[in-house]
Amino acid sequence: MPGFKKVVLGHGSGGRLSRELVEQVFLKSFSNSALRLLEDSAEVKLGGLTLAFTTDSYVVTPVEFPGADIGRVAVCGTVNDLAVKGARPAALSAGFILEEGFPADLLLRITASMRRAAREAGVNIVTGDTKVVEKGKADGIFINTSGVGLIPAGRSLTSAQVKSGDVIIVSGGLADHGVAVMNARSKLGLEGGIKSDAAPLNGLIESALRSPGVRAMRDITRGGFATVLNEVSGACGLSAVVEENSVPVSPATANACAMLGLDPMYVANEGKIALFVAPAAAERVLKALRSHRYGRKAAIVGRMIKEKKPQVRLNTSIGGSRVMLMLEGEQLPRIC
Amino acid sequence: MPGFKKVVLGHGSGGRLSRELVEQVFLKSFSNSALRLLEDSAEVKLGGLTLAFTTDSYVVTPVEFPGADIGRVAVCGTVNDLAVKGARPAALSAGFILEEGFPADLLLRITASMRRAAREAGVNIVTGDTKVVEKGKADGIFINTSGVGLIPAGRSLTSAQVKSGDVIIVSGGLADHGVAVMNARSKLGLEGGIKSDAAPLNGLIESALRSPGVRAMRDITRGGFATVLNEVSGACGLSAVVEENSVPVSPATANACAMLGLDPMYVANEGKIALFVAPAAAERVLKALRSHRYGRKAAIVGRMIKEKKPQVRLNTSIGGSRVMLMLEGEQLPRIC
């Protein structure tokens, strides 16, 4: 039996409880080599090709918020899960669960937004499904997107192959998405025009991969940057050491986080990736990222190092140092 | 704007209203050649291969019922959507939306059932996702499964290529799944041990495809056999004429349908397919189906014929004839 009796919100956080659910239920039931890696996409060998395959369901509330909506997030999230594995997105699916009474005009706005995001990513939504449940049995709209992509021969990006000395790069300012959704949900009226960063990053990622040296990439979504670092540290057995001063967070978002008691290291993004790069390649990769519209604020933020007991550590702006664990509990439910 | 203001249950029926939703919202937003075919899976050309790609969300209630559960249905439904396009299933994804408070032991039973169904189909669940929503914002558990398969070179199964004179075969008795779920949901206490037929049919389908002559296959799920016939008739421009006496329905299921006022031609199955076969190949294909455990009751039930105004017609057991339209409204919500 699993170590819990009932599902709690934290099981959907992307953090430690999600990890427990995956290990105690899904890995136990479905165990196979592709799933065990727990990367953003699974690799599937088929007819001599290496495919990437990924799925995500989206339950974000409200469904529209500054900068994006559930449809844009659903398309970008799945495109990015493919792209961080080095895959070129080939096709997306869209599965809708609608609550009876959902307004047709809102549905059409959401699907139009999906189309725009898919077009920007250069991929088609080729197959779909719709289920409708009675009023009160769902919350408006839930969307699942799955995606298939082709990983070009010779490309291999996995967290396990990150090496000591590798440089950690983030592709831009953190925490905008989570703060924008919270602001819209709670009608906090925060100033500064904070918008969700939801964006398809396959173009940015192709730029970064043009020069060799990128060993792994992760999509920084639920659980935030701290959780991604913990996952990568766990997979490669190295410590991640990050300089707080180097981590880009916009002033408006930093202020909002301070007001809300949120740590930007744990807040979800929908258009940011972490890259783990061989030291000799770091400046070249940084330059490539910065030359793309979605990577202008990319920054080197830390390093992977070999230590007896691997951990994720933040050297703070006031000269201290603290260990960052995976996200505990659930600070921002239904953020994606 | 779509021709409706709000989503109604019938938009999830698989019948006429589902078709309208697809045409007025999804095709309008996402239009591309693969999606426009509206087959059970989309064909995706990639690196010289032809893949099949499909998605379905499952919202069936109750989640456990005689013969199957939401997990088994989710795996079988997606395996079958791949297989009817001639694809060999290569990998599945599983996306869970859980309501806070969902019992861990029930979740584990469902995932164990998914594993058994996947094993029987010879496919792995390689990637997954879990979201949790607050109590009251979903109905226990919703599961999305998507699937990727490889269509062997030279195989092409599409409804558009069905020809006049082609024989219509169903792989077994209809309507068991829908009646079993209704019986469990409404605690009707129907006798006869009616069980869901949910089963992975890729083995059965490979047997049928060993001899040439199969032009198209469809998974007979939501909307039932009558709706599948209407979809194929629409795609190939031919009439479908079915002999009621030839359509296999078990006596217990036929009795239950009569009591409940259900027409077995419109009730969902999760382990039955319709095949459209060149006349010269029909007996051979029938024999292949009957030699498989999931096709013992396979039967030739009708023919496709050229008529000025294509329609789907049932020659009834009492000597009459009636037109069968697509499913109207929604007689059995949340059956899959």
Angle between helices A70-83 and A202-209 (to 10 degrees): 20
Query: B333 and A49: CB-CB below 8 Å?
Result: no
Q: Which residue has the tokens 């594993």?
A: B115
- Judge if ipTM > 0.95: yes
Q: Enumerate the β-bridge partners of residue B141.
A: B98
Q: For the segment B161-189, what is each residue's pLDDT rounded down to a tens digit?
A: 999 999 999 999 999 999 999 999 988 87
CB pairs under 8 A between A and B: 295
For each of chain A's 336 residues, which pLDDT tens digit applies? 788 999 999 999 999 999 999 999 999 999 888 888 888 999 999 999 999 999 999 999 999 999 999 999 999 999 999 999 999 999 999 999 999 999 999 999 999 999 999 999 999 999 999 999 999 999 999 999 999 999 999 999 999 999 999 999 999 999 999 999 999 998 887 878 899 999 999 999 999 999 899 999 999 999 999 999 999 999 999 999 999 999 999 999 999 999 999 999 999 999 999 999 999 999 999 999 999 999 999 999 999 999 999 999 999 999 999 999 999 888 789 999
Tell me the three state secondary structure of residue A176: helix
Test A53 with B136 for CB contact under 8 angstroms: no
Identity of the residue in A58, A115, A334 whose CB atom sits nearest the CB atom of B29 = A115
User: Tokens 């440089």 label which residue?
Assistant: A167
Query: A9-151 belongs to which homologous superfamily?
Result: PurM-like, N-terminal domain (3.30.1330.10)
The pTM assigned to this predicted structure is: 0.97
Contact yes or no for A91 and B7 at CB 8 A = no
List the single residue in A7, A8, A137 with the smallest CB-CB distance to B139. A137
Residue B217: how many CA atoms within 13 Å on its side-chain side? 28
- Residues with Cβ within 8 Å of A180's Cβ and at least 6 positions away in sequence, in order, are A65, A66, A67, A68, A194, A195, A196
Helices and strands, number each (H, E), in chain B = 10, 14
DSSP string, A250-271: -HHHHHHHHHHT--GGGS--SS
Residue A57 burial class via C-beta count within 10 angstroms: exposed 0-12, middle 13-18, buried 19 and up: buried
Pick from A98, A129, A334: which is nearest to B56 by CB? Answer: A129
**Is the link from the previous residue into B279 a cis peptide, with omega within 30 of 0?**
no
Q: Are strands A312-315 and A239-243 parallel, antiparallel or unpaired?
A: parallel
The DSSP 8-state label assigned to residue B39 in this structure reads: -
Contact list, A30 vs chain B (CB under 8 Å): 94, 111, 114-115, 118, 124-125, 128
Nearest CA to B304 out of B204, B223, B224, B215 is that of B215
Cβ atoms within 10 Å of B292's Cβ, excluding its own: 18
pLDDT (tens digit per residue) in A296-307:
999 999 999 999
The fold of B159-323 is: Phosphoribosyl-aminoimidazole Synthetase; Chain A, domain 2 (3.90.650)
Give A-chain residues touching B107 at CB under 8 angstroms. Answer: 2, 7, 25
Phi (first) and psi of residue B284, to 5 degrees: -65, -45
pLDDT in tens, chain B (336 residues): 788 999 999 999 999 999 999 999 999 999 899 888 888 999 999 999 999 999 999 999 999 999 999 999 999 999 999 999 999 999 999 999 999 999 999 999 999 999 999 999 999 999 999 999 999 999 999 999 999 999 999 999 999 999 999 999 999 999 999 999 999 998 887 878 899 999 999 999 999 999 899 999 999 999 999 999 999 999 999 999 999 999 999 999 999 999 999 999 999 999 999 999 999 999 999 999 999 999 999 999 999 999 999 999 999 999 999 999 999 888 789 999
Distance from CA of B245 to the nearest CA of A (A): 33
Per CB-CB distance under 8 Å, the chain A contacts of B19 are none
Separation of alpha carbons B189 and A47, rounded Å:
49
- Yes or no, beta carbons of B18 and A130 under 8 Å apart: yes
Choose the mutation target among B8, B16, B30, B327 for the interface with A, i.e. most A CBs under 10 Å: B30
Domain with CATH 3.90.650.10 in chain B: 159-323
Closest residue in B to A90 (Cα) is B46
Distance from CA of B24 to the nearest CA of A (A): 9
* Contact at CB, B102 and A6, closer than 8 angstroms: yes
How many whole angstroms separate alpha carbon A45 and alpha carbon A32? 14
pLDDT of A104 reads 96
Considering only CA atoms, give the Rg of chain A.
Answer: 19
